[in-house]
A and B are shown apart, each in its own frame.
Chain A
């Protein structure tokens, strides 16, 4: 395949130029800082886009118009205005809370989400954290977020937050199993955990086509469990408004609340991004073996467009699910995971291993 948009040439030129004028470790430090700033900017901008998208999609499913006043016809400036408002709000600390843990909790949640965010393959040569255990690191880093939720709920010193934290803690820990097993299913097929190699291996067709039946089953399991991981409906009982006001972040205000909100949306993006990476080819254009002309045309579209396009498609799917199904009760959620989802994920894993061993994948 021809790749016209490989970023590796650009980054190595920049690195060589920096190394020419300063020692290598200074150059490395500067590059790390710049990349870090880019990650955080992207993080914030994508969150704003997704909040706008959520409002519009939700409105469409509920036969409303959604935000339409601020900033012209589409209400485009509604979310930036909300962000500005939340930035200038007072960060309020209730009496009798454990101040250290209370202010630490939002940062733990954000930390886990930024770590996983920086493992996404944006483009060829645009992978930021590259390790040969890539996808396993994503699973490991995302398991830290639940601690932030538990600490937030406990340290706020309120019944609502404690119950919200317990519920969402129990839910996230349970659904991590299904996510892990369905990711493992695809690792068995692809034969690598390296995110770059995972994407490169899909040059002759995305994994969901190459792995046919078991891959599609794993994709469905991943989407269900991923929705629960991101604490979104129909699994949003951590903040079931009718019962718990706002769940584990009831007592938070201003930007501390903003961090939880941001992390929730970005976890949705990360869930969709990882689904894109392991099932839908990451930044890899759509290639059909045998149709060389078609493949050559597809190569002209940059990888980042493919990645964002596929990710937002998965996000739309998840939003569709959220605004269609009613919320489950906690016992129903745990029954769904432990009695149906996890066993079926295991069955799919065995099926995929069998198919791979027999050479039935393409």
Chain B
């Protein structure tokens, strides 16, 4: 048996991610697109799990699947949207989309292959201890990220205040 169970799981998850990403952008219904996006995010979380980074996997589930997608669904439900988005796509547009997709995929493949990521074996899933993640996020030494962490939270706060200002009715 040259292929391990972990690799089989990885390829199944990767195939699911690919299929659902394509479905998310090709479906004509807004809420279905959000649901396919949810499946893609599940797949990403599963890949983090395979890599042993369960903390990021759980964060992925909580923030993206349980937070962002819920917000999408909420906003789709609250706004009056056309259930079937039947846009006609012209040939010129279709051709340019296909060309950019192929060029982008080629560039990605080139970068991955020359970097040697794809040639590496999938690392065996030893779980990354939470203490290590916490120390890296909250430490002040080299390769520790307290300043970016705090800066990002200030940025989020600014975004929220901005959103409230825009949404507020003028008195």
A interface list, Cβ under 8 A from B: 23, 25, 28-29, 98, 100-101, 104, 131-133, 136-137, 139-141, 143-144, 146-147, 150-151, 153-155, 162, 165-166, 169, 173, 176, 193
Residues of B within 8 A of A133 (CB): 54-55, 58, 130
Residues of B within 8 A of A141 (CB): 61
Residues of B within 8 A of A29 (CB): 5
User: Can you sample 23 A-B contacts with CB below 8 Å?
Assistant: A28-B5, A29-B5, A98-B29, A98-B31, A98-B32, A101-B35, A131-B54, A132-B127, A132-B129, A133-B55, A133-B58, A137-B61, A139-B58, A140-B66, A143-B61, A143-B65, A143-B70, A144-B65, A147-B73, A151-B73, A154-B77, A166-B78, A176-B66
Q: Are B66 and A25 in contact (CB under 8 A)?
A: no
Q: Are A25 and B31 in contact (CB under 8 A)?
A: no
Interface centre among B1, B31, B69, by most chain A C-beta atoms within 10 angstroms, is: B31
Nearest CB of B to A212, in Å: 26
Tell me the bound Cα distance from A133 to B129 in angstroms.
8
Closest to B29 in A: A98
Q: Are B66 and A143 in contact (CB under 8 A)?
A: yes
Residues of B within 8 A of A132 (CB): 54, 127, 129-130
By DSSP majority rule, is chain B's interface helix, strand, loop, or mixed? helix
Question: Residue B104 at the A interface, CB < 8 A?
Answer: no
Given contacts A29-B5, A101-B32, A166-B77, contact A147 B66 (CB under 8 A): yes
Nearest CB of B to A165, in Å: 8
Closest to A193 in B: B130
B34-68: CB near A (< 8 Å → 1, else 0) gives 01001000000000000000110011011001110
Q: Are A25 and B65 in contact (CB under 8 A)?
A: no
Tell me the bound Cα distance from A173 to B74 in angstroms.
11
Indicate which residue in B29, B55, B74 contacts A136 across the interface (CB closer than 8 Å). Answer: B55
- Give the size range of B's interface with the partner: 20 to 34
A/B pair count, beta carbons within 8 Å = 79
Indicate which residue in B31, B69, B74, B127 contacts A101 across the interface (CB closer than 8 Å). Answer: B31
B interface list, Cβ under 8 A from A: 1, 4-5, 29, 31-32, 35, 38, 54-55, 58-59, 61-62, 65-67, 69-70, 73-74, 76-78, 127, 129-130
Residues of B within 8 A of A100 (CB): 32
Closest to B49 in A: A131
Given contacts A132-B54, A147-B38, A173-B70, contact A155 B31 (CB under 8 A): yes
Indicate which residue in A137, A147, A153 contacts B65 across the interface (CB closer than 8 Å). Answer: A147
Tell me the bound Cα distance from A100 to B73 in angstroms.
15
Q: Are B35 and A162 in contact (CB under 8 A)?
A: no
Interface centre among B31, B32, B62, B129, by most chain A C-beta atoms within 10 angstroms, is: B62
Told that A133-B54, A143-B67 touch, could you supply 7 new A-B pairs with CB distance under 8 A? A104-B35, A132-B127, A140-B59, A143-B70, A146-B70, A150-B74, A193-B130
Closest to B67 in A: A143
Indicate which residue in B31, B59, B62, B130 contacts A151 across the interface (CB closer than 8 Å). Answer: B31
Nearest CB of A to B140, in Å: 19
Residues of B within 8 A of A98 (CB): 29, 31-32
Nearest CB of B to A323, in Å: 30
Residues of B within 8 A of A169 (CB): 70, 74
Indicate which residue in B31, B58, B62, B66 contacts A154 across the interface (CB closer than 8 Å). Answer: B31
Residues of A within 8 A of B69 (CB): 147
Residues of A within 8 A of B127 (CB): 131-132
Interface centre among B32, B66, B73, B77, by most chain A C-beta atoms within 10 angstroms, is: B66
Tell me the bound Cα distance from A100 to B130 in angstroms.
38
Q: Are B65 and A151 in contact (CB under 8 A)?
A: no
Sorted nearest first, the 4 A-B pairs with minimum C-beta distance are A143-B66, A140-B62, A25-B5, A140-B61
Nearest CB of A to B66, in Å: 3
Tell me the bound Cα distance from A139 to B59 in angstroms.
10
Interface centre among A28, A101, A133, by most chain B C-beta atoms within 10 angstroms, is: A133
